[in-house]
Amino acid sequence: MKQWLQKTHGPLFELLRHFLLRFFDSDLITAPGQMTAALVGAFSIFIPCFPIILAPVRAKYMYISKLGNPSLYESALRADELWLMTLVMSATGLLTAIKWNSVFPGLRDYRSLASLPLRPAQLFMAKMLALLLVAMPVILILNLFPSVMFPSISGSPWSTASWGQRVAAQALAGIAGSYFLFFGLVAVQGMLLIVLRPRTFNSVTGYLQGFLVAAMLVFTVLSFSIQPSVASSVLQPSLAQWLPPAWFLGLQQTLLGNPDSQLRSLAHLSIAALLLALFSTFIAYMLSYHRYRRILLEVGPTSVGRRRFAVLGWLIPNPRQQAVVSFIMKTLTVSSQHRLILMGYTGFGLAVLLTGLLSLKQFVPPSRMLAAGFVYTHVVITIFVLVGFRHLFSIPLELRANWIFRITEEEGRREWLAAVDRFVLVAGMTAFLVIPFPIEFRVIGWRAVGESILLAAFGLLCYELVFYSWEKLPFTCSHLPGKFPMWIRALQVFGVLGLLAPVNAILLGCLYSRPRYTFVLALLLVSWAFVRTNRMNARGVLHLKYEESPEAPVLSLRLLQ
């Protein structure tokens, strides 16, 4: 088999091999094979999550089974089935949105294959086959664990179907729902390709991709908040007909033999939606391949707008700092890939924010709910925006162009790093403290002034901690996504999420106690001054990094050879 694969087997097979081997490559990744390491690490974190998540679910059903209440069991089961359907569909939509630019052949494909005697139809056919081959195992894996494990832990004497029937129904409905969302998003991009003009298409799809990533992250996180009361509201006829997870939940129940007429109508709607998504994707591919090639060649993804940021001359008189801030702003304006990363952090932060706001009423007295909501919002947004910007700045835009910064680093390093500070801090303070302040002042009165001062000190300290070891100029250093172990990143994320509640409680308590407010504010300011002084002293001997490499212990073990 290995010898057979080393030979050439015709244009379609070779194009398929080309697209499969480079499907996860990206212009944001500067070393071949690094994305594979990152994906393996992500799956190694993802797979053990289901047993951890389902452990409390098992305990819940064991408890419900002892109560002897069939209606309570039925409502809990329906809510969890809706949760799993929403989860797998949102995860599929998230992965599809992330690889939005890989749905059709890219500009790099056309440039590398332009000299070969290939027809556009061959390129599109091979790309579509590669897309299906990649999507199939991903969708199967996403649905495998919930389809097998959930029926195993949710059985009871009141179950009307066997374990095998429940597994089959859960798997078929989940896979159908995942394919609906997958083909639906592909069809949306194809239809936009047919309808919109070239420049409008690039602009609209770039922002739409970011919106989809944020929305799918929100739905993924919020799916864990689906309770029986939420499920009963969602499954009302007037609302269920607009919610795809409810359609495929109806399909699952119909496969199990549920005689409910409403669920049967939802099942019919799910089948019609899946067939429509498949047909639309096929039509979009057939009609758009000539137009897509023209769009790529006329308006490439690296085209740079000519908008000038004249206001910078007034806000930032230093020319070196003004150049760096302008460079950052233009990168965020023209690079859809960088906007995608920022929208991903925004979506995840929004999901965490909404989940936390929904649970605040269980821990906060009604008299403090409004203030608690404002404090929690500021804390969550501050942390996610700072971490998001740090990650965003580490992704290169056009790596070969960093030579201009290398040859002038000695005379401009301090001003460049100061410009990064000013950009993040000014933009952050304006967006998250100044703009919402009138609303907060109107709602909670003069307490909003104390809250803004306290949150400003908290934000300054968070910035110093997040950017303490920052030694790059934004968008100019190579990036190795598999360099840091994924399980450590996961622990860091869970650690930050675990700190949100106590930090919010401390800051909220300060607003209602002057001695506590004074002490915490002084502690934040002293800590900020100490960390900032150490960071500023390090800039005198700091040399900016332009190339990332694996850590020294990895190199010494020769694991990459």
pLDDT 10s digits, 225-261: 888 888 888 888 888 889 999 999 999 999 988 888 8
What three-state secondary structure class fits 5?
A: helix
- What residues contact residue 344 under an 8 Å CB cut-off, 6+ apart? 98, 210, 213, 214, 217, 388
Answer yes or no: do 218 and 181 share one domain: yes
> Residue 16 falls within a domain, yes or no?
no
Answer yes or no: do 364 and 287 share one domain: no
What integer pLDDT is reported at residue 270 of this predicted model?
94
Specify the residue for token string 């809706």. 82
> Residue 8 falls within a domain, yes or no?
no
Answer yes or no: do 232 and 359 share one domain: no
For 383, other C-beta atoms within 10 Å of its C-beta total 22
> Residue 41 falls within a domain, yes or no?
yes
> Residue 310 falls within a domain, yes or no?
no
Quick: pLDDT tens for 251-290: 999 998 888 888 899 999 999 999 999 998 888 777 766 5
What integer pLDDT is reported at residue 305 of this predicted model?
42
Answer yes or no: do 39 and 152 share one domain: yes
Answer yes or no: do 149 and 102 share one domain: yes
What integer pLDDT is reported at residue 322 of this predicted model?
84
Nearest to 63 by CA among 76, 81, 48: 76
What integer pLDDT is reported at residue 540 of this predicted model?
63
> Residue 527 falls within a domain, yes or no?
yes
- Out of 298, 330, 347, pick the residue that ends a domain: 298
Nearest to 340 by CA among 382, 303, 286, 391: 391
What integer pLDDT is reported at residue 209 of this predicted model?
82
pTM (whole model) above 0.85: no
Answer yes or no: do 366 and 286 share one domain: no
> Residue 516 falls within a domain, yes or no?
yes
Answer yes or no: do 373 and 293 share one domain: no
Phi, psi of 537 (to 5 degrees): -65, -30
The tally of CA atoms less than 13 A away on the side-chain side of residue 500 is 26
Q: Which tokens hold the place of 75?
A: 């409502």
- What residues contact residue 1 under an 8 Å CB cut-off, 6+ apart? none
Q: 85: buried, middle or exposed (CB in 10 Å: 19+, 13-18, 0-12)?
A: buried
Nearest to 202 by CA among 34, 307, 336, 55: 336
Quick: pLDDT tens for 204-219: 877 788 888 888 988 8
Higher pLDDT, 23 or 410: 410
pLDDT band at 313 (very low <50, low <70, confident <90, very high): low
Instruction: Report how far Cα 495 is from the mean position of its chain's Cα atoms.
Output: 18
Q: Which tokens hold the place of 526?
A: 């002293």
Higher pLDDT, 310 or 128: 128
Answer yes or no: do 270 and 168 share one domain: yes
Least confident of 109-118, 165-174, 357-366, 500-509: 109-118
- Out of 266, 298, 330, pick the residue that ends a domain: 298
- The residue segments making up the domain with residue 157 are 27-298
For 68, other C-beta atoms within 10 Å of its C-beta total 10
pLDDT band at 326 (very low <50, low <70, confident <90, very high): confident
Q: Are the C-beta atoms of residues 173 and 255 closer than 8 Å to each other?
A: yes
pLDDT band at 6 (very low <50, low <70, confident <90, very high): low
**Whole-number average pLDDT of the chain:** 79
Does pLDDT of 299 surpass 60?
no
The H or E element that residue 464 is part of is: helix 447-466
> Residue 113 falls within a domain, yes or no?
yes
Answer yes or no: do 285 and 335 share one domain: no
Quick: pLDDT tens for 102-137: 766 655 666 566 556 666 667 777 777 877 888 888
Quick: pLDDT tens for 41-94: 555 555 556 666 777 888 888 888 777 778 888 888 889 999 999 999 998 998
What integer pLDDT is reported at residue 338 of this predicted model?
82
pLDDT band at 304 (very low <50, low <70, confident <90, very high): very low
What integer pLDDT is reported at residue 302 of this predicted model?
43
What integer pLDDT is reported at residue 301 of this predicted model?
44
Q: Are the C-beta atoms of residues 353 and 223 closer than 8 Å to each other?
A: no
Answer yes or no: do 331 and 247 share one domain: no
In angstroms, the first-to-last Cα distance of the chain is 25
Instruction: Report how far Cα 150 is from the mean position of its chain's Cα atoms.
Output: 26
pLDDT band at 178 (very low <50, low <70, confident <90, very high): very high
What integer pLDDT is reported at residue 405 of this predicted model?
83
pLDDT band at 555 (very low <50, low <70, confident <90, very high): very low
Interior/surface letters 425-443, b for 16+ CB within 10 angstroms, e for the rest: beebbeebbeebeeebeee
Residues of the chain with pLDDT > 90, as a percent, come to 18
Does pLDDT of 395 surpass 50?
yes
- Out of 249, 270, 298, pick the residue that ends a domain: 298
Torsion sign (Cα): 257, 258, 259, 261: negative
pLDDT band at 523 (very low <50, low <70, confident <90, very high): very high
Higher pLDDT, 35 or 539: 539
What integer pLDDT is reported at residue 174 of this predicted model?
93
Answer yes or no: do 275 and 326 share one domain: no
What three-state secondary structure class fits 353?
A: helix
* Count: domains in the chain: 2
Q: Are the C-beta atoms of residues 508 and 368 closer than 8 Å to each other?
A: yes
Residues of the chain with pLDDT > 70, as a percent, come to 78
Least confident of 81-90, 182-191, 303-312, 374-383: 303-312
Question: What does the alpha-carbon distance between residue 399 and residue 453 come to, in Å, rounded to a whole number?
Answer: 40
Give, to the nearest 10 degrees, the angle between helix 437-444 and helix 369-393: 160
What integer pLDDT is reported at residue 89 of this predicted model?
93
What integer pLDDT is reported at residue 203 of this predicted model?
72
Does pLDDT of 39 surpass 60?
no
pLDDT band at 396 (very low <50, low <70, confident <90, very high): confident
Nearest to 201 by CA among 345, 336, 26: 336
What integer pLDDT is reported at residue 230 of this predicted model?
86
Answer yes or no: do 352 and 283 share one domain: no
> Residue 345 falls within a domain, yes or no?
yes
Does pLDDT of 161 surpass 50?
yes
Q: Which tokens hold the place of 523?
A: 């502690």
Higher pLDDT, 390 or 114: 390
Q: Which tokens hold the place of 442?
A: 């109107």
Nearest to 146 by CA among 92, 90, 83, 97: 83
The H or E element that residue 331 is part of is: helix 319-334
Least confident of 117-121, 145-149, 348-352: 117-121
What integer pLDDT is reported at residue 559 of this predicted model?
45
